[in-house]
């Protein structure tokens, strides 16, 4: 029994060493497999969500009456209706989120110069305690207003 366990241990150790040695290839192959499986998983999630809406729309009273034209075309109408609902929700989310995001970026862009000036004042207070730090910061020769202008224009764009 101990001999069998020892052989398993040696095999496991050899596999571990091989996995470590060829980890780049293994991780590359795993990434390749993930890139193949991701669209399938995404499609399954979308189909699951759409199926919930389709079954709810099909159970509406106008589709359940026998002998009506809507009963015959309930599946395509339900699919189009569920797609329209998902599209409307997406558009509403975009219409609500994008303006708020632009406003938040604008607020951040307005506050950045004030924060940098406060940081500059705070760092200059170390002049008495750590003159080497002040000399180092001055030796960097950084044009803070230009950097702030570029960052603000990047954030607002």
Distance CA 108, CA 69 (A): 57
- Residue-wise pLDDT for 37-65, tens only, equals 999 999 999 999 899 999 998 888 887 77
What is the pLDDT confidence band of residue 95, given thresholds at 50, 70 and 90? very high
Q: Rounded to two decimals, what is the model's pTM?
A: 0.49
Pick from 101, 102, 82: which is nearest to 90 by CA?
A: 82
- Quote the CA–CA distance of 111 and 88 in Å, as a whole number: 35
117 pLDDT band, cuts 50/70/90, is confident
CA distance 138 to 134: 6
- pLDDT value at residue 133: 67
φ and ψ of 113, to 5 deg: -60, -40
Signed CA dihedral, 52, 56, 59, 62: sign only: negative
């Amino acid at each position: 029994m101990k001999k069998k366990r020892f052989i398993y241990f040696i095999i496991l150790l050899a596999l571990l060493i091989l996995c470590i040695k060829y980890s780049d290839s293994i991780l590359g192959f795993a990434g390749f497999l993930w890139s193949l499986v991701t669209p399938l998983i995404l499609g399954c999630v979308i189909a699951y969500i759409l199926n919930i809406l389709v079954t709810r729309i099909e159970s509406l009273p106008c589709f359940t009456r026998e002998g009506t034209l809507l009963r015959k075309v309930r599946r395509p109408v339900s699919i189009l209706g569920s797609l329209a609902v998902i599209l409307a929700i997406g558009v509403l989310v975009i219409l609500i989120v994008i303006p708020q995001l632009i406003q938040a970026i604008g607020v951040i862009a307005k506050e950045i110069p004030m924060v940098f000036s406060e940081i500059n004042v705070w760092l200059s207070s170390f002049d008495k305690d750590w003159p080497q730090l002040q000399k180092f910061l001055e030796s960097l020769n950084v044009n803070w207003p230009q950097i702030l202008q570029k960052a603000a224009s990047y954030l607002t764009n």
